[in-house]
Amino acid sequence: MKKAAVMLAPGYEEGESLFVVDIIRRGGFECDAVGLEGEQVTGCNGVTALADKVFDGSLEGYDLVVLPGGMPGAANLAANDALIEAIKKMADEGKLVASICAGPMSLDRAGLLDGRRFTCFPTRKDSIGQAGEWVDELVVRDGNVITSQGPGTTLHFAYALVDALGGDGDALRERMLYNKVLGK
């Protein structure tokens, strides 16, 4: 079974993190909420989550890592040298690396946006990924790197991650009534 890690740093964006964990699990995959600095992590809106694991410097055994936004959460992720090395290693191994909102700051620091199409929160586009091409799309996949724009695109992003892991995001959208929101 494929396995995902959603990184939780102090100041993480709650919706971009916890919804993603939930949807990946509903999609039939293992998914750990991984605390960057400890087991209890408080988000940018004051919600404290209990991480399944604490980051030990390695993402070995994961097929996907998700780096959410939120401030200062995204900056805390990007500043962690061990995490940057771990996501570089995952990308080099062809594993999936995904990020949303301001989270692509970490991908940029790791050099993973160079020469790629990506998206992020629109007001961050001028400070992230200068060596890549920002596009105004809800979710962008370029090879094994998947990015999305922000809190309002979280569900779309999460279903795309289920698809990328080999699941059926369309069936999950239907079961969760997401298609009704889209008017389908």
Predicted TM-score (pTM) of this structure: 0.96
Contact (Cβ atoms closer than 8 angstroms) between residue 28 and residue 174: no
Give the chain's mean pLDDT: 96
Tell me the C-alpha distance between 115 and 94, whole Å: 16
Asked whether the beta carbons of 135 and 102 are under 8 A apart, the reply is no
Tokens linked to 68: 């959410």
Per-residue pLDDT, 136: 97
**pLDDT of 91 higher than 80:** yes
The tokens for 111 are 């050099």
N residues, the chain? 184
Nearest to 143, CA basis, from 69, 82, 93, 72 = 93
The domain that contains 20 carries what CATH number?
3.40.50.880
Domain count along the chain: 1
Q: Is 95 exposed, middle or buried (0-12, 13-18, 19+ CB in 10 A)?
A: middle
Domain span at residue 120 reads 3-181
At 181, the pLDDT band (50, 70, 90 cuts) reads confident
Backbone angles phi, psi at 5, to 5 degrees: -125, 130
Q: What is the pLDDT of residue 10?
A: 98
Residue 80 exposure: Cα atoms within 13 Å on the Cβ side: 25
Q: Which segments within 43-106 are labelled E, that is strand? A: 48-50, 53-54, 64-67, 96-100
Each residue's pLDDT tens digit, 115-130: 999 999 999 998 897 8
Q: Tens digit of pLDDT for each residue in 35-83?
A: 999 999 999 999 999 999 999 999 999 999 999 999 999 999 999 999 9
Rounded to whole angstroms, the Cα distance separating 21 from 18 reads: 5
Per-residue tokens: 40: 């209890």
| CB neighbour list of residue 79: distance below 8 Å, 6 or more residues apart | none
Look up residue 154 and give its two tokens: 């979280």
- Per the annotation, the verdict on 44 as an active-site residue is no
